A and B are shown apart, each in its own frame.
Chain A
Amino acid sequence: MFDKYLIDAASLRNTGPADAPTGFAFEAKLGYYRGLGLSMIEKLDVAIDGEPVARDAVRFDEGAGPLTLDEMELAYDRRWPFGTPATILVDHPGGFPAGEHELSLLQQLRVSYLPFPSINTDSKTVAVPA
C-alpha cells in the first residue's frame, strides 16, 4: 500500500571511518497502515543491484538501539510506529559502492489477521553523496 515510499533515497550514507567505510545505512518506513511490534517483522531483505546482502549483515534501529534481525524477532516490547522512519544498517566493507546503484528493500511482516505474510518491496536508484 506504500511500497514506493519505503526507502528514503536521500538518507543513504556510509558508516564507519570516512576513509574506510565498514557499511552503509538508510532510513525506511514500514509498509503498513499501522505500527507493528518488531517481533512480527520476519525479514528486512536488502539487495544492491539485485545482489542480496546476507541477513546477518543487516541491523535495525527504530531509535532504541540497533538489533540484528534475529534479535528483532524476540523484541516483544518494541514497535515500529506508523509512518516513522527507522534506520537500516548494513555491514558492507567499503561502504555502498561508488556511483548510482539500485538499492532494494523487502519487508516481510507477520500480520495476524492475514492468512499469508505481508510482503512489501521498494527499489530505488541511489548514490552516497560525494
Chain B
Amino acid sequence: MSKIQRGVSLYSFQEEMFLGRMNVEDVVAFAASIGAPGIEILPEQNMPTFPDITDAQVRQWQDMLARHDAHFTCYDMFLDTKLRKGEVLSDEEQVNSIRRDLALCNRLGIRNMRVLIFVRPDILEKCVPYAEQLDIHMGVEVHAPWHLEHAWILRTIEVADRLGTKHLGILPDMGVFMKHYPPEFRARFERQGARPEVTQFIVDQHEQKIMCEYTIYEVAVKMGGNKAEIAMAETLRHAPYANPKRIKDYAPYFRHIQAKFYGMTEDCTDPTIAYDEVIPELVKCGWEGTLSSEYEGNRWIQDVEEVNSREQVRRQHVMFENLIAKAEAALETA
C-alpha cells in the first residue's frame, strides 16, 4: 500500500454544489467510488449553519462518511480579518477565530487544518499550544504566486523550527508547479477577444519562463494589447513553476497536498501542472499524506460548456494511480 493516499476537496465540486446539482453526500459517494475516500472540507462552504455546528450535525457528517467508507483529511479554515469595515481584527480576535476553527476541526476528528496564506506567522505562533493540545497540524497554504521558497513561507517554517513543533508547517497547493500555461485559460481569453497571435506569444513566453513583467509590458504597451490580452498576460503573475526537486527539503513540513488542476485531457494527463515531476519526488522522499484533488477549471469553461467535475476529478485520479505506481516501481528497481 502506497504511503500516498488519494482524496478530494469538496472545493472541486463547487459548480455542481452551487447549482444544487450535487450535495455533499453525492461528492463523498463519488470520491469513494474512484478510490479517493479522503475528504477535505471547507466548513464555510459545506456547513450552512457555520460557525454554529451542533453535536448532532457532527454525528451526521461522521455517519455519512462511514456509509461510504470515507474519512475526513483536512479542514480549510478562513479568517475574516476585515470583518468590520475600515479596521482589521485585533491580534487577540484573530487568535480567537483560529482557535474556534481548531476546536471545530477537532470535534470533526480532523488532524490537518489548511491555513490561509495571508495569516501572519506570529499569529499562528500564538495558536501552536492549542494545536498541539488538539494534535492538529496547521499547514499554511503555499499558493501561487507564492511558492515553496518564498520568503513569506520561510517565515512560517522559521517559527515552526524555532518552536520545535510538529503542529505548524505548510500545505502546498500544486498550482505552484505550473509548468505549462493552462489551455483552458487561453481558450477563455480568446473567446473574450484575445487574438490568437497574442495568446500564442504569451504561451511561448510562459513556456520559456520569462519573468512575467516583461511579457505584460510587451503585450500591454508594445503590442497594443486589448483588454482580454492584457488580462491574460497578467495571469502570468500567478503562474509560478517552482522546482519539484526541492520538495524533499520541505516534505517534513507538510502532511496534505491540495492537488490543484484546471483541466485533464481525455487520456488522463494534466497539460499544465507538472505532476509527472512532482509525484516521483514525493515517492522518493517517502512522503506520507493525501493528494487531495482541487479542481478549479469550472470558472474557465462554464461560459461555453457544461462543467463535469466528476469526470475531471476521475481523470486526475487515473493519472495519480499511474504516476504513483510508476514512481514506486522505479524506486524498487533503483
Contact = CB atoms under 8 A, between A and B. Distances in A.
B83 A5 contact: no
A37 B83 contact: yes
A110 B45 contact: no
Binding site secondary structure of chain A: loop
Contact of B17 (A42, A83, A111): A83
Contact of B85 (A42, A79, A111): A42
B101 to A, nearest CB: 13
A112 B48 contact: no
A83 B44 contact: no
B20 A83 contact: yes
- Which size class do A's interface residues fall under? 20 to 34
A1 B19 CA distance: 12
A82 B17 contact: yes
Given A42-B85, A83-B17, A35 B44 contact: yes
A68 interface: no
A34 B78 contact: yes
A84 B18 CA distance: 8
B162 interface: no
Interface residues of B, number: 28
A107 to B, nearest CB: 14
A2 B11 CA distance: 13
A112 B49 CA distance: 20
Contacts of B303: 4
B302 interface: yes
Contacts of A33: 11, 14, 18, 42, 45
A84 B45 CA distance: 10
A113 B45 contact: no
A110 to B, nearest CB: 5
A84 B44 CA distance: 12
Contacts of B79: 112-113
A9 to B, nearest CB: 14
Contacts, number: 65
Contact of A112 (B14, B42, B81): B81
B48 A40 contact: no
A1 B48 contact: no
A113 B118 contact: yes
Nearest to B141: A113
A112 B45 contact: no
Nearest to A39: B83
Interface in B79-129: 79-85, 116-118
B215 interface: no
B258 interface: no
B181 to A, nearest CB: 20
Interface string A103-116: 00000001111000
B14 A113 contact: no
A59 interface: no
B18 A2 contact: yes
14 contacts: A1-B298, A5-B19, A33-B42, A35-B48, A81-B48, A81-B49, A81-B50, A82-B17, A82-B18, A82-B46, A83-B19, A113-B79, A113-B117, A113-B118
- Which 9 pairs show the lowest CB-CB distances between chains A and B? A34-B44, A81-B48, A34-B45, A1-B299, A83-B18, A112-B82, A112-B81, A113-B118, A82-B45
